[in-house]
Structure 1
Amino acid sequence: MNEAVEQNKDEISCGERLANKRSEKELSVNQVAREIKIEPRVVEMIENNDFESIGAPVFVKGYLRQYSELVGLDPDLIIEKYSAINSIEDSPPIVNDSVDQISKYVLTPKIILIAIFVILISFGVLATVFGIFGNNEAVVIKMETETESLESLLPPVTAPQTESSETQIDETFEMETETESQESLLPSVTAPQIDLSETQID
């Protein structure tokens, strides 16, 4: 008979065990919720083994530990029972997720061709941009060096503006002195004076 009781205990889920112990202690759902500081609906989810609705396994284990200690059950035994149920339910999706993730990162020939095409276009754009700007800079530098070399080959040119203005002044001064000397050589000519008073009387 003891073996039947033990098998019966093993078949009872952790939520049912907690609910039975709560009833033995004559505690309500609201009292348990208030004591372990969770909402009453979470207590009901635990007792109905609806652990997925509660959230992450870390939270579920924390709630189970607090609930077990409150009603006087062994927390490690309850958490072990929960972990056994949880690992059975969660194991297939984990394998499927890992297979899906691996298949996402497999390089297919199509992906490789697209990557090569994008890389070639990027190199082409960069070569065009740097080729245009690089040639312009080279032309400017080449023109500057050519003009500098031409300037160094030519003899220095000075503007003869000051000398020409001085020579023009000297020439005009010489012309004025020549005309004055020519005038001094000519005899002075005086105009005859007419006496108007005598002609009127006659």
Structure 2
Amino acid sequence: MSLTLNDTQLSTINTYGAAKNYPAMYSYIATEMKAGRIAGASSDQIYWFEQATKINAGDTSSPASVFIRAATVAGLAASGAPTDAAHIQNISNEIGAKVYTDILDIQAIPDFGRQLNADIRSGTDFGGMTIGGWGGAFYYWNEPYTLPDGTQTTVGEAIINNPDERSKFLNGMQEATKVTLQEFGLDLLDDPAFLPALITGLKNIGGSAA
């Protein structure tokens, strides 16, 4: 179900989106959701907007941003796609443009499933990776996902049921974890967002394997 926006919210989102200032757009939406002024948002959708703010801005002080970008590099490399910083930023901007366009089209925040699938398609269709290389798979493992042939499944099932995708996923998670640990070391223990996300991801994968 889409989330209703008032005229002020739509105007503010349009101001940021039209200027391609996606970090500001994401941050504004997350703030409005957390304050209850955009009603009905799930914790997963709020988390997406919070982290997308840092990822699109290239915030190297954010463990989540560093982790996702490292996983993205590994995923792109595994598919033979470009891995340079400009290409990764272009993928991130493509995601922002899709979020903005979808909001304009329906004058509301899209259903999270629709939003997440648009995120994935930016990485696959625009970026050149496959689902196993998508950086958000770890956290959004159990979310609905539509395969290219239209089959309805989940992110995790699409990865687990395909040996190539499973290999890409495991390699990406290993590489992203290594890069993040090298960058932040024990400071990760003090990060308020990274550890809960890590625990959620481990529970997701553990539940899938059970």
User: TM-score normalized by structure 1?
Assistant: 0.23
More helix by share: 1
With normalisation by structure 2, the TM-score equals 0.22
Larger Rg, first or second structure (1 or 2): 1
Q: Which has the higher contact order (CA 8 A, sep 6+)?
A: 2
